Structure formats: C-alpha cells, structure tokens
C-alpha cells in the first residue's frame, strides 16, 4: 500500500461504481478532446478546474507490455498506485488514464500523492512514461451557427478560397460582436420585424423621412424594389443561431434604419438623415450616392455638407459620427469616385468592392480618395453576398443576390462596429487612421500599388487594401487618439492659364513652407484636397494629377468618355488619401492635360486652392505607431484584460445646439482647428494681431475682450481671436465655401466661454455669455482625442 493512504480505504469495490460515475461525468467534460478526438462539438470547451473544489488528480500512463496483457497490467498498476483505471485513452493503444478520487478530507495531501505516484510510475517496469494531466486552456476555433445560409457566407469564412474573407471569426471567438454599438442604415427602409433583424433592431435610432414618422418599414414600390436597406441591415446585424438565413458581421450590435431614399430627396432631408439620432447611432451606413452614369459631378449640397461636418464634431458624444459610403457602381461607364462628393469628403470612410477572388469587379469605381475595399459580388461566375431580405409577397426573407459596392459598405460598417466595441472613444479620424494602418495590400492584376513616403501602399482601385476585421479590432484595442486635426489652406491661386492638348500639359505648383505649418503644428498629412475652377468645352477630356512633395502621384481627375459637360468644374473639390502619413511641407504640383484634339477650344484653369489636413504626428511617431500595431496583431491585447482609458464623451443634446470646448474644437497654441474649418484669418484675428503687438494693446484685449482670461498669454489670446472669427464665420455665412458650418448649425449665442481648467457648464447655465473655448496648457486638444 502506498504510504499516503491512511485511515479509511480510498476504494472499495462497492464505492468504485459510484466514484466512476462521478469521475466519468467530469471526464466527459474535461477529456473529450483527448478521449474522442472526433467530437468537435465539445472540443476545447472550458473544462472545470481539476484541483481545488473538485479535488481530481489524473495521470496518463503509457504501458510497455504485450498487447493482450495491456488491459490486465493497467488494472494491476492502478490498484498498486491506489488509483482508478479509467480505461484506454481514446484509440491510443497502451495508453491509460488513472484517476485519484479523494474522500473529501485529503485535498491538502495532493502534493504527497503526486510525489508518491510519480515515484511509483517512474520506477515501475511496465510504465514507459507517465504524465499528470493538467487542464489545457483552449479557445474555440470554430463557431457553430445553425443559420442555414451561414455556410454560403463566404465573405465571413471562405472555405473554398481560404483567406479571401474579412477574417472575422477570431474576433467573434473573443466575444467581440459589436455589443454596445448602433449602426444605422440610411436607405429605402428596413424591415425590422423580420426574424434576423427584430432582436437587434433599435427603434430609438430609426426614423422615416419619406413619411415623416418613426417607423422606417419599407413601402412596396411599383416593382417591389425597396429591398436595399433590409439587405444592408442584415449584412451588419443579422441574428445568429436562430435557424434563419444568415449571420451579420456585427451580430451583437443594434441596427437602426432611416428611410429616406423612397421618394424625392432634398438637401435638407439628407442633412437631417446624417444627424438623425446622432447620440444613439454611432455608424451611418450609406450605400448610395449621385448617379453613376460617368458624366455626373455631384455631392452633398450646402446642408448635407454642413450635416456631415456637424456629425463628426458633435455626433457620438463628440467623438464623431462614422459615415461609411460606398464608392459607387459606375465602373462600366468609367465613372470615378472623385466625382462623387460623398466619397471625396474627408468626413466619410469611402469603401470599394472586390469579388470573391479579390479582383476589382466590372462595376467598381476607382479613385484617389478610396480608403479601402471589402467583398461583394462580381460577374456572373462569382458568388454574391447572402443576406437578409424584405420578405414581401411570400419572399423567404433571405437572398443570395446582394451585390455592388452597396453590399461592401455595410460590411465595412459592421467591422467598424466591432472596433468601437473594443474602443468606444475612437474618433472619426482614428477610425480612418486604423483602416489606413491595417488594410492589407494584395496582388490583383487590375491594381497598381504605390508605396508612399510613410510606407503605406495605396492603389486607386483598392485604396489601402482589404479590410481585415482581425487587424482592425486588434489595432483599435490599443489605439490612442491621433492628435487634433490640423489644417492648412493656401490662398486662392488665380491662374487663368490655358490647358494644352496632349502630349503637352499645364503644370502649376504651390510650396508649403515650415512657416505656413507653424501655426497649426502640422507635420504629417491625412487628406489632401484641391479645389479647382476650370472651364472646358468637354469636361470628360480632362485628366488632373496631383503630386505631393514626396512625389506620390494621385490621379484625382480621370478622363470620362461619357462626360461631355461644357461647363468644366466650378469650385469642385477633389481629395486624395494617397499621401497619408507623409510630411506635409514642400511643393505640391498640379498637372492638367487635355486628351481631346485641337477641334475644341482649349480649357482654362481659372483658379485653384490647396487644403491640407493632418496632425502634429512626426514621421517617427507614425512609424512607432505602425510598429505597435503590428505587435498587437498576435491578439495579445484582445485576449487579455488589457484596456486603455477612454475620456468621457460630451453630453450633447439631440437638437442642433452644443457647447464648444476643447473636446469639440481642436485647439492648439495660437490656432483653432474645428474639423473642416480651414483656419482662415478673419477680422478678429487681424485686429488681435495688431493689438497683440504692443503691451498696451495686450492689456486692452485682456480687460475688454477676454474678461475670463486675465492671464492669458498672447498665443492663447490669438487663438481666442480665431475662435471669434470662426463663430462669426459659422454663424454669419452660409456654407458657400468649403468648411464653413451651415446656417443654423452653429450660432454664437449657443456657445459658451469655458476658461482653462474649468468644466463646460451645461447649456443654459450661463446665459448671456459670449463665446470662447478652453485653452489647454501646451496647445493640445482635449478629451475627444484622448490627449
Ligand atoms: Ca413609416
Ligand atoms: Ca440568422
Ligand atoms: Ca460614381
Ligand atoms: Ca471619404
């Protein structure tokens, strides 16, 4: 008898059966991976603790004996050791499992038992090797969904061509499903009563602008055509494991609908849609845009533009609404998404499509402002996206035919919902940055990739590449906010120069000096925009390229054979993301050529203006961030308890009225950067500049103008002057020019002075106060960026 056995015998023949039942029950949980390797359903289930309250010790033993004697040897050895023979380990010949079952008082003796058993096994002739069994920590590798169409959702888990999917299952396995995030589909309605939508439906985020009621249920049109919104909604948030249709990318998120496309659409309706319930809705998924006929140049008008800007300033408690837009389906008409103002906008995440092979489909448009691509249908041979459908007139509520960039944008919206679950305080710019940093370049015969100075590869066809949910979420988890938005605007450059016909071309340039960037503190670029006024008898004949100082070329204006518009471009803004992360300083060159012939009169570049958006990040900081993110891709932060602190959001009421604080305006030493406002010097800034030059003027400014800031230094006062300019601009001017807030969006009386170090009072608390903003100490913006 082993020396540790004392008192009552551990086993008796009578007890053994009972013990075996208990032990076997436990083993059936803990040992299925080993004992029945063919049982995938249980593989890796979290097993109970072997020790502690369970008090279980087990050993696997490999026996050295003739085959016919194995069973008997095992039984004898178990008895010698005072253990129970649990039988052979699965199909492994000669391998047995022995268990020790204590009597309830022996838990403290585990160490002694171990030593004794180990010594016995080590010395026993029949034991080839032995090993005490420890619980293995395993996570589920494959999720099981009973949704009948899940196996056809190749974009989620592509079994036919592994890797050609959004790489989301590992994220789900870590319980990241979009929980706490609301995505709204701005479209032709959402059938929210259908089984795959109803449990995730958010009536609070929804509205019907076509019928002006709270319910966005689609209405049948003559061709029963209003399926679009429901299909997009299903891609995002279809309910899993309900034995119905499919699974959404962010199946734990809430899904809302804004019905706006089923009827005449006006600028003001669009503006309302973009800001509707913007403290509830986090992400606006917009799978629509101007006509993709290859001859339209259009985008959001005055109010729509102002609403997009207002959304990124005030939406999501000041972190900024996320607007996801589809790049367009005008590929057959050589359309280009830089002629689409929604895609061009710096406030939108512009998403294109690739088919299941990763190739650019026939319908896809290309452009320099494309951020990334994700999957959708392609030509007839390619599989489309399987998703929820409006079950009107005996439909099944499920379709296998959703395609176009319309199907790609909602997948991106879903992936962003996953990001926001792990890091709710990502700003609208953080989301764009994370996409730029994590999208993956891949080979495609259509795509021409160029690597920019910051090391990012971009193609006009695929943006920065394929969205990858695993990479996005792991990066988001450790993402600290990018510094405040800095911008620079060149003067309006009057040229009046004619555009020669190919092979000649017109070249103009503007040099951005260190002094130009000093006020804003901008070091590296995000979007670069060029606003042009060009007259030309046939607009589609023009090709416009922009070179950043690094030499990175963006084809911002492509030729379009269908576009015979005789009026050219009037103050049209093209944007590019291709210089993202590059140094802002240096010479920007604009090259324009005419592919037509001498039969038409030549076009003229009337004027142009360069706008740079970026931040104070240095190239070295950019590189360091790239390194950090790649390190996070192992999943080490996502799996653990790691979490970065998030600044609290702002309490912004639903109506269009909000407080300017360091959280909503980006304030730097001497400069104000409300997103999109280009930092122009207005009358207040000019007056301040004059007064700040003398001690007397300075005293006067402090005493009369800024009572709340008696000790403010000249740079801080200069900044406050610019706040005044901004407010005059915002309240007084309609949004004719790029960047200004629209009428009714920001009124001076709705804004409050918040001296440095003080909390913003709640609206109405300090009536009659003027205007202002907090002045952070060393010129950094506050909570919104998490600085
Ligand atoms: Ca309705
Ligand atoms: Ca389902
Ligand atoms: Ca288009
Ligand atoms: Ca955009």
Ligand 4 center to 344 CA (angstroms): 5
Please tell me the number of the ligand nearest to residue 215's CA: 1
**Boundary of a domain, candidates 429, 446, 477:** 477
Q: What share of the chain is helix, strand, coil (3-state, %, to 5)?
A: 30, 20, 50
Q: Which residues of 216-227 are buried (b: 16+ CB within 10 A; e: fewer)?
A: bbbeeeeeeebb
Residues 223 and 335 in one domain: yes
User: Strand 283-286 relative to strand 348-354: parallel, antiparallel, unpaired?
Assistant: unpaired
The reply to whether 444 belongs to the active site is no
**Is residue 672 very low, low, confident or very high in pLDDT (cuts 50, 70, 90)?**
very low
Report pLDDT for 777. Answer: 25
Judge contact between 777 and 722, C-beta under 8 A.
no
Distance between CA atoms of residues 138 and 244, nearest Å: 29
Residues 258 and 391 in one domain: yes
Residue 615 pLDDT > 80: yes
Please tell me the number of the ligand nearest to residue 218's CA: 1
Question: If DSSP codes are grouped into helix, strand and coil, which group holds residue 499?
Answer: strand
**Is residue 727 very low, low, confident or very high in pLDDT (cuts 50, 70, 90)?**
low
Residue 779 pLDDT > 80: no
- Per the omega criterion (within 30 degrees of 0), is the bond before 503 cis? yes
Distance between CA atoms of residues 487 and 546, nearest Å: 18
Residues 714 and 570 in one domain: no
Residues 6+ apart with CB under 8 A from 472: 415, 416, 418, 419, 434, 435, 438
The reply to whether 228 belongs to the active site is yes
Which of these ranges, 243-252, 326-335, 339-348, 760-769, has the smallest mean pLDDT? Answer: 760-769
Ligand 4 center to 387 CA (angstroms): 26
Report pLDDT for 60. Answer: 86
Ligand 2 center to 715 CA (angstroms): 58
Report pLDDT for 129. Answer: 84
Please tell me the number of the ligand nearest to residue 246's CA: 2
Residues 562 and 460 in one domain: no
Distance between CA atoms of residues 630 and 653, nearest Å: 39
Residues 534 and 589 in one domain: yes
- For tokens 């600085």, the residue is 787
Q: Cα–Cα distances in Å, from 710 out to 705, 706, 713, 717, 756?
A: 10, 7, 9, 10, 11
Mean pLDDT over 95-106 rounds to: 75
Ligand 2 center to 787 CA (angstroms): 41
Mean pLDDT over 161-170 rounds to: 93
The reply to whether 536 belongs to the active site is no
Ligand 1 center to 211 CA (angstroms): 5
In a domain, 145, yes or no: no
Mean pLDDT across the chain: 80
Distance of CA 232 to the CA centre of its chain: 17
Catalytic residue from among 406, 554, 575, 616: 406
**Boundary of a domain, candidates 132, 167, 186:** 132
Residues 6+ apart with CB under 8 A from 727: 746, 748, 751, 771
With residue 235 as reference, give the H or E element that holds it: helix 228-237
Report pLDDT for 451. Answer: 98
Residues 114 and 202 in one domain: no
Report pLDDT for 677. Answer: 38
Mean pLDDT over 60-79 rounds to: 90
* E strand segments, 424-523: 450-451, 457-458, 486-489, 493-499, 506-512
Q: Using one digit for the tens of pLDDT, what is the confidence trace for 328-382?
A: 999 999 999 999 999 999 999 999 999 999 899 999 999 999 999 999 999 889 9
**Is residue 519 very low, low, confident or very high in pLDDT (cuts 50, 70, 90)?**
confident
Residues around the ion ligand 2 (C-beta < 5 A): 147, 196, 238-239, 242, 244-245
Report pLDDT for 231. Answer: 95
Distance of CA 463 to the CA centre of its chain: 15
Report pLDDT for 643. Answer: 86
Residues 342 and 226 in one domain: yes
With residue 570 as reference, give the H or E element that holds it: strand 569-576
Please tell me the number of the ligand nearest to residue 325's CA: 4
Ligand 3 center to 351 CA (angstroms): 12
Which of these ranges, 78-87, 279-288, 313-322, 386-395, has the smallest mean pLDDT? Answer: 386-395
Distance between CA atoms of residues 475 and 689, nearest Å: 43
> Could you tell me the two tokens for 481?
């906010």
Name the strands in the sheet holding 506-512, side by side, starting at the edge strand that comes first in the sequence.
506-512, 586-594, 542-547, 553-557
Number of domains in the chain: 4
Residue 433: closest CA among 580, 273, 650: 580
Report pLDDT for 7. Answer: 33
User: Strand 603-615 relative to strand 486-489: parallel, antiparallel, unpaired?
Assistant: antiparallel
Residues 338 and 223 in one domain: yes
Judge contact between 317 and 652, C-beta under 8 A.
yes
With residue 636 as reference, give the H or E element that holds it: helix 636-639
Ligand 3 center to 225 CA (angstroms): 21
Domain that holds residue 690: 658-754
- % of the chain at pLDDT higher than 70: 74
Report pLDDT for 107. Answer: 54
Burial of 510 (0-12, 13-18, 19+ CB in 10 A): middle
pLDDT: which is higher, 248 or 12 = 248
Report pLDDT for 714. Answer: 62
Please tell me the number of the ligand nearest to residue 351's CA: 4
Judge contact between 313 and 674, C-beta under 8 A.
yes
Ligand 3 center to 184 CA (angstroms): 22
Distance between CA atoms of residues 349 and 330, nearest Å: 18
In a domain, 29, yes or no: yes
pLDDT: which is higher, 661 or 76 = 76
Mean pLDDT over 147-156 rounds to: 96
Ligand 3 center to 363 CA (angstroms): 10
Report pLDDT for 740. Answer: 34
Residue 12 pLDDT > 60: no
Residues 533 and 584 in one domain: yes
Distance between CA atoms of residues 287 and 771, nearest Å: 39
Ligand 4 center to 327 CA (angstroms): 9
* E strand segments, 106-173: 127-132
Q: Using one digit for the tens of pLDDT, what is the confidence trace for 193-242?
A: 999 999 999 999 999 999 999 999 999 877 767 999 999 999 999 999 99
Quote the DSSP letter at residue 131.
Answer: E
Please tell me the number of the ligand nearest to residue 335's CA: 3
Please tell me the number of the ligand nearest to residue 192's CA: 1
Residues 361 and 381 in one domain: yes
HEC letters along 23-36? HHHHHHHHCHHHHC
Report pLDDT for 2. Answer: 35
Cβ atoms within 10 Å, residue 95: 18
| CATH (domain of 204) | 3.40.50.200
Ligand 4 center to 506 CA (angstroms): 27
Distance of CA 525 to the CA centre of its chain: 19
In a domain, 776, yes or no: no
Catalytic residue from among 147, 165, 187, 391: 187
Q: Which range is most confident: 408-417, 436-445, 645-654?
A: 408-417
Which of these ranges, 148-152, 342-346, 666-670, 686-690, has the smallest mean pLDDT? Answer: 666-670
Quote the DSSP letter at residue 215.
Answer: -
Ligand 3 center to 328 CA (angstroms): 4
Residue 720 pLDDT > 80: no
In a domain, 587, yes or no: yes
Please tell me the number of the ligand nearest to residue 239's CA: 2
In a domain, 255, yes or no: yes
Q: Cα–Cα distances in Å, from 444 out to 163, 333, 408, 448?
A: 14, 21, 18, 8
Ligand 2 center to 503 CA (angstroms): 57
Residues 405 and 501 in one domain: no
pLDDT: which is higher, 777 or 78 = 78
Ligand 2 center to 246 CA (angstroms): 4
Catalytic residue from among 228, 333, 673, 729: 228
Residues 288 and 188 in one domain: yes
Judge contact between 277 and 256, C-beta under 8 A.
yes
Report pLDDT for 696. Answer: 65
Judge contact between 136 and 60, C-beta under 8 A.
no
> Could you tell me the two tokens for 491?
């003067």
In a domain, 450, yes or no: yes
Distance between CA atoms of residues 342 and 265, nearest Å: 15
Mean pLDDT over 402-422 rounds to: 96
| CATH (domain of 562) | 2.60.120.260
Residue 588 pLDDT > 50: yes
Distance between CA atoms of residues 728 and 513, nearest Å: 28
Q: Using one digit for the tens of pLDDT, what is the confidence trace for 531-578?
A: 999 999 999 999 999 999 999 999 999 999 999 999 999 999 999 999
Q: Cα–Cα distances in Å, from 459 out to 344, 547, 588, 697?
A: 16, 15, 20, 53
- What are phi and psi for residue 544, nearest 5 degrees? -125, 125
In a domain, 622, yes or no: no
Ligand 4 center to 368 CA (angstroms): 10
* E strand segments, 647-719: 666-668, 671-673
Question: If DSSP codes are grouped into helix, strand and coil, which group holds residue 603?
Answer: strand
Q: Side-chain half-sphere of 53: how many Cα atoms within 13 Å? A: 1
Report pLDDT for 243. Answer: 96
In a domain, 630, yes or no: no
Please tell me the number of the ligand nearest to residue 200's CA: 2
Mean pLDDT over 485-511 rounds to: 96
Burial of 439 (0-12, 13-18, 19+ CB in 10 A): buried
Ligand 4 center to 527 CA (angstroms): 9
HEC letters along 712-741? CCHHHHHHHHHHHHHHHHHHHCCCCCCCCC
Report pLDDT for 701. Answer: 67
Ligand 3 center to 446 CA (angstroms): 19
């Amino acid at each position: 008898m082993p020396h540790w056995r004392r008192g009552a015998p551990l086993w008796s023949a009578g007890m053994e059966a009972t013990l075996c039942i208990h032990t076997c029950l436990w083993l059936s949980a803990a040992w299925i991976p080993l004992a029945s390797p063919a049982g995938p359903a249980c593989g890796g289930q979290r097993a109970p603790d072997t020790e502690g309250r369970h008090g279980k010790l087990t050993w696997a033993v490999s026996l050295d004996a003739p085959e016919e004697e194995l069973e008997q040897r095992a039984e004898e050895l178990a008895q010698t050791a005072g253990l129970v023979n649990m039988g052979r380990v699965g199909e492994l010949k000669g391998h047995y499992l022995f268990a020790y079952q204590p009597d309830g008082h022996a838990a403290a003796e585990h160490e002694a038992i171990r030593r004794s058993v180990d010594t016995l096994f080590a010395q026993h002739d029949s034991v080839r090797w032995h090993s005490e069994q420890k619980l293995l920590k395993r996570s589920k590798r494959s999720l099981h969904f009973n949704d009948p169409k899940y196996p056809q959702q190749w974009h989620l888990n592509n079994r036919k061509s592994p890797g050609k999917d959004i790489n989301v299952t590992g994220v789900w396995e870590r319980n990241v499903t979009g929980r706490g995030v609301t995505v709204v589909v701005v479209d032709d309605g959402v059938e929210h009563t259908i089984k795959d939508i109803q449990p995730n439906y958010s009536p609070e985020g929804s509205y019907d602008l076509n019928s002006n009621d709270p319910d966005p249920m689609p209405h049948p049109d003559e061709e029963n055509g209003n399926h679009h919104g429901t299909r997009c909604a299903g891609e995002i948030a279809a309910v899993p494991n309900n034995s119905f249709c499919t699974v959404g990318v962010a199946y734990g998120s809430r899904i809302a609908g804004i019905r706006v496309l089923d009827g005449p659409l006006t600028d003001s309706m669009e503006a309302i849609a973009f800001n509707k319930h913007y403290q509830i809705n986090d992400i606006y998924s917009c799978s629509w845009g101007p006509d993709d006929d290859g001859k339209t140049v259009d985008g959001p008008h005055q109010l729509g533009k102002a609403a997009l800007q207002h959304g990124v300033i005030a939406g999501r408690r000041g972190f900024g609404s996320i607007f996801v837009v589809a790049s367009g389906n005008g590929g057959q008409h050589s359309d280009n998404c830089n002629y689409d103002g929604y895609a061009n906008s710096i406030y939108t995440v512009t998403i294109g499509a690739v088919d299941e092979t990763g190739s650019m489909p026939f319908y896809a448009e290309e452009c320099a402002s494309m951020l990334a691509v994700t999957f959708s249908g392609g030509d007839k041979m390619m599989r489309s996206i399987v998703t929820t459908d409006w079950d009107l007139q005996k439909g099944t509520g499920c379709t296998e035919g959703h395609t176009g960039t319309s199907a790609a944008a909602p997948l991106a919206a879903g992936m962003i919902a996953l990001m926001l679950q792990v890091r709710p305080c990502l700003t609208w710019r953080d989301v764009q940055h994370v996409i730029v940093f994590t999208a993956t370049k891949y080979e495609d015969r259509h795509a021409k990739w160029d690597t920019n100075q910051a090391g990012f590869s971009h193609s006009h066809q695929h943006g920065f590449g394929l969205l990858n949910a695993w990479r996005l979420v792991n990066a988001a988890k450790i993402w600290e906010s990018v510094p405040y938005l800095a911008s620079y605007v060149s003067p309006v450059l009057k040229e009046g120069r004619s555009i020669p016909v190919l092979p000649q071309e017109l070249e103009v340039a503007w040099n951005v000096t260190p002094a130009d960037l000093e006020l804003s503190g901008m070091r590296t670029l995000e979007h670069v925009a060029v606003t042009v006024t060009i007259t030309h008898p046939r607009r589609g004949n023009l090709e416009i390229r922009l070179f950043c100082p690094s030499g990175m070329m963006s084809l911002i204006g492509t030729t379009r054979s269908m576009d015979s518009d005789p009026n050219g471009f009037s103050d049209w803004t093209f944007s590019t993301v291709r210089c993202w992360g590059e140094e802002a300083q240096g010479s920007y060159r604009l090259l324009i050529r005419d592919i037509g012939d001498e039969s038409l009169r030549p076009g003229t570049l009337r004027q142009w203006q360069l706008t740079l958006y970026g931040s104070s990040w240095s190239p070295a900081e950019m590189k360091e961030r790239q390194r950090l993110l790649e390190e996070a891709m192992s999943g080490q932060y996502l799996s653990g308890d790691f979490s970065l602190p998030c600044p609290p959001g702002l309490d912004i009421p639903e109506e269009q009225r909000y407080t300017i604080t360091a959280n909503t305006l980006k304030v730097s030493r001497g400069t104000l950067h409300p997103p999109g406002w280009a930092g122009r010097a207005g009358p207040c800034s000019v007056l301040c500049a004059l007064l700040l030059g003398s001690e007397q003027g300075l005293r006067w400014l402090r005493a009369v103008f800024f009572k709340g800031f008696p000790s403010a230094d000249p740079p801080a006062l200069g900044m406050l002057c610019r706040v005044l300019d901004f407010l005059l601009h915002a309240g007084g001017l309609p949004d004719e020019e790029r960047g200004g807030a629209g009428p009714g969006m920001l009124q001076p009386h709705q804004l409050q002075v918040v001296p440095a170090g003080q909390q913003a009072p709640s609206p109405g608390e300090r009536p009659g106060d003027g205007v202002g903003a907090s002045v952070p100490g060393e010129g950094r913006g506050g909570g919104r960026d998490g600085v």
